[in-house]
Amino acid sequence: MTYHRQPYSVLVVVYAECGHTLLLERRDLPGFWQSVTGTIERGETAVAAAQRELLEETGIEATPVCTGRRRRFKIFDQFLPRFAPGTVSNVESEFVVCLPARCKIKLDPAEHTQYRWMTVNEAIAAVGSWTNRAALEALRVAQL
């Protein structure tokens, strides 16, 4: 039996009280910067997926807070084979994690090549997806 990913994922925006947010560069899409993301696995809650992805991708142990925002987006063509035939979109649930300060990140080298802490405005300009940009814009508004 072929395993297909579910078309449900999490986006976790990590930011520090100093106003900087964390971005990761994808290994499979050089130059594509994003917040923590990942698929919700079968039988897993969205918050459990957010917590797992945060730990796997950064080494940070924290419980992300759900913002209540969800967005549907078109799956990139190169990733369509990971999903059941006919699946073309994904629903992403948004989470945030506020840290007291920027910290060193332990990347998963299979997924990401580097990380950067940057201002929210810099991050908005750098991210590769509209959903990530929308999440960062909501964070910027919340910080005003």
Domain ranges of the chain: 8-143
pLDDT exceeds cutoff 60 at 94: yes
Residue 93: other Cβ atoms inside 10 A: 22
Look up the CATH superfamily of 8-143.
Nucleoside Triphosphate Pyrophosphohydrolase (3.90.79.10)
Cα 36 from Cα 102, distance rounded (Å): 15
Burial 116-128 (b: 16+ CB within 10 A, else e): ebbebeebbebbe
Residue 4 half-sphere exposure toward CB, CA atoms < 13 A:
13
pLDDT tens digit sequence for 28-64:
999 999 999 999 999 999 999 999 999 999 999 999 9
Computed from CA positions of residues 124, 109, 75, 29, in that sequence, does the dihedral angle turn out positive or negative? Answer: positive
Residue 129 half-sphere exposure toward CB, CA atoms < 13 A:
22
pLDDT tens digit sequence for 54-73:
999 999 999 999 999 999 99
Q: Which of 20, 11, 121 is nearest to 68 (CA)?
A: 11
3 pLDDT band (50/70/90 cuts)?
confident
Tell me what the mean pLDDT of segment 8-33 comes to. Answer: 96
